[in-house]
Copies of this chain bind each other. A is one copy, B any other.
């Protein structure tokens, strides 16, 4: 997991809203898109940024793509943000923990 990608992914209100929606359970790409007044290509971009950051996972079922929240990854980020302010955290980050 790369912290840079995670924070870049979180630096957008639409992507934070997607994460919160997925907190209630998995949703299809279409169901998510219905909640935003955003073009399909832009929604795809947001999904890809969140996937690259490993914040969400995708599974295909026929023609449908289901997205779900990677809850453990999100919790790991919060733990690492806390540790950002403790000695020795950077060493852990450099080791790619």
Contact = CB atoms under 8 A, between A and B. Distances in A.
Number of copies: 2
Interface stretch (A5-13, A38-46, A56-64): A5-13
A67 to B, nearest CB: 15
B8 A7 contact: yes
Interface in A16-63: 16-17, 19-20, 23
A84 B4 contact: no
By secondary structure, the A interface counts as helix
A20 B78 contact: no
Interface of A: 3-8, 10-13, 16-17, 19-20, 23, 69, 71, 74, 77-78, 81-82, 84-87, 89-90, 93
